[in-house]
Amino acid sequence: MVTTPIETNSSLKALCPRKDLFSAVQAVAHAVSGRSPLPILSHILIRSEENGLRLVATDLELGISCRVAATVQEPGALTAPARTLAEVLGNLPDKSDVALSVDRSHTVRLHCERSDYKILGLPAEEYPQLPEVADAVSFAVPQAVLKEMIRKTIFAVSSDEGRAILTGILMVVEENALHLVSTDTHRLALCTVALNNVRGTQNAVVPARTMNELLRLLTDGEGDVNVTISSNQVRFLLPGEDDVQIVSRLIEGQFPPYQRVIPSEYRRRLSIPTQPFLQAVKRASIVARDSASAHRIILRTDEDKLVLTAENQIVGSAYEELEVLREGDDVEVAFNARYLLDVLSVIEEEGVTLDLTEPLKPGVIRPIAQGNDEENKGFGLDYLCVLMPMQIA
């Protein structure tokens, strides 16, 4: 993330509701660096705006900013250590106003009722400014939809830093659709939604940390997230008076051709009730979670039944039985129980399909749409998760 120092007046006097200021500090503090050699990056920048304050935090990879309403008595800016500022604000009297100011030595003063604190800050002009993101590609998506899309894909992101390109979520922006894709090579999650008024097309890999922060700040309320993508940066502007913005670098590199991983046909299809399936896998995983069994659960069809088994030489064995609708011949296949739990936990529809070809070829789990989108909270999303099978013996 390329940044430049911010130019601002070092003085500031403002009055702000404690609760609002504390919430704003909490919102941006997740972008603060805890290990940077630059002391300024452990701070939060607070600068005046018209009828309010702008809070900014960045570690030069991820930046978060938001606005809070305040009475600005003297415009300017200050910085304060994020952790100290959050702890003090979190323990000041509730339902009170905080008087915020800074002197020429960069000492920040917080005054609230009978409490008065002085916190050593740093020069505000040294704080890096969040980069401008050229709007080469831009689109808007309802925040509830984007929240659901991230929730359905974030679990499949790789944690292997040796393959950095897989440690983020691929955003495929097309003329009329947005795809989110994640994979750790053992499973792949793909979520798609139709969009209108898309400007430009691009593939961009957004770091998982950025997506997790975005997921934390998004709500199920109304309003669109405005997304802007340049060659190496992405900006998310959230709806609401807080004017929350997230700016992040993109991960460089070529994401694997994910379409090749998704089977184009199946020979067997199982229609399974989601919650009974989830609970059966959860119980059987108690036996399968030992490292010797590698979290393996075996799924075997027997006419209109699906039998789940797990064995562990130390713990014992597990047997679960479910009623299913089966298309095609009987099949026996093994999957990692944790991967099954991850995908079943994010599906809210009452049923799923499991498409299979051969025991050692990928299986595909999809939700079964029921009713309208408002009833099943599907948001008009197309979703699937590809799971690589395990050796049965």
Section 264-279 average pLDDT: 96
The pLDDT of residue 7: 46
What is the predicted pLDDT for the residue at 8? 46
Cβ–Cβ contacts within 10 Å for residue 127, how many?
24
pLDDT, the chain, mean: 93
Is pLDDT larger for residue 294 or for residue 254?
254
pLDDT digits (tens, 9 = 90+) for 50-59: 889 999 999 9
* Cα distance between residue 319 and residue 302, in whole Å: 14
**Predicted local confidence at residue 17, as pLDDT:** 96
pLDDT digits (tens, 9 = 90+) for 342-355: 999 999 999 999 99
Instruction: Supply the pLDDT for residue 376.
Output: 42
> What is the gyration radius of the CA atoms in the chain, in angstroms?
25
Q: What is the pLDDT of residue 291?
A: 63
Per-residue model confidence (pLDDT) at position 10? 59
332 close to 296: Cβ distance less than 8 angstroms? no
At 292 the pLDDT is 67
Q: How confident is the model at residue 370 (pLDDT cuts 50, 70, 90)?
A: low
Instruction: Provide the edge-to-edge strand list for the sheet that holds 233-237.
Output: 77-81, 43-49, 52-58, 62-69, 245-249, 233-237, 224-229, 137-142
Measured between alpha carbons, how far is residue 248 from residues 41, 74, 176, 286 in Å? 15, 31, 24, 39
The residues facing 351 across adjacent strands are 273, 368
CA distance 123 to 160: 38
Whether residue 208 has pLDDT greater than 80: yes
pLDDT at 368 over 80: yes
Res. 285: pLDDT tops 90: yes
What is the maximum span of the chain, computed from C-alpha positions, in angstroms? 80
Amino acid identity of residue 243, one-letter, is: D
Across the range 366-386, mean pLDDT stands at 75
Strand order across the 202-207 sheet: 202-207, 168-173, 177-183, 187-194, 382-387, 363-368, 351-356, 268-273, 325-327
Closest by CA to 121, choosing from 84, 82, 81, is 81
Task: Write down the pTM of the prediction.
Answer: 0.92
pLDDT tens, residue by residue, 68-125: 999 999 999 999 999 999 999 999 998 899 999 999 999 999 999 999 999 999 999 9
Range from 40-44, 242-246, 284-288, 292-296 carrying the lowest mean pLDDT = 292-296
What are the residues facing 365 on neighbouring strands? Answer: 354, 385
φ/ψ (deg, to 5) at 97: -95, 150
Phi-psi region of 303 (alpha: psi -120 to 50; beta: other; left: phi over 0): left
- Other C-beta atoms within 10 Å of 329: how many? 8
Listed residue (148, 162, 181, 130) closest to 1, CA to CA: 130
Give SS3 for 190. Answer: strand
DSSP state letter for 125: G
What is the model's pLDDT at position 375?
42
Q: What is the pLDDT of residues 144-199, one digit of tens each?
A: 999 999 999 999 999 999 999 999 999 999 999 999 999 999 999 999 999 998 99
- Is the pLDDT at 9 greater than 70? The verdict is no
Taking residue 20's Cβ as centre, other Cβ atoms within 10 Å add up to: 17
pLDDT for 33 equals 81
Q: Which of 209, 138, 139, 205 is nearest to 172 (CA)?
A: 205
Residue 265 has pLDDT above 80, yes or no: yes
Token pair, residue 230, equals 């340049």
Specify the range with the lowest mean pLDDT, choosing from 148-162, 241-255, 312-326, 375-389.
Answer: 375-389
So what's the pLDDT on residue 373?
Answer: 46
User: 365 in helix, strand or coil?
Assistant: strand
pLDDT of residue 37: 85
Give the DSSP per-residue string, 237-265. E-SSTT--EEEEEPPPS----GGGGS-S-
Q: How far apart (Å, rounded) are the C-alpha atoms in residues 392 and 156? A: 23
Residue 374 — pLDDT band, cuts 50, 70, 90? very low
Task: Give the DSSP letter of residue 390.
Answer: B
Summarize the confidence of residues 1-7 as an average pLDDT. Answer: 49
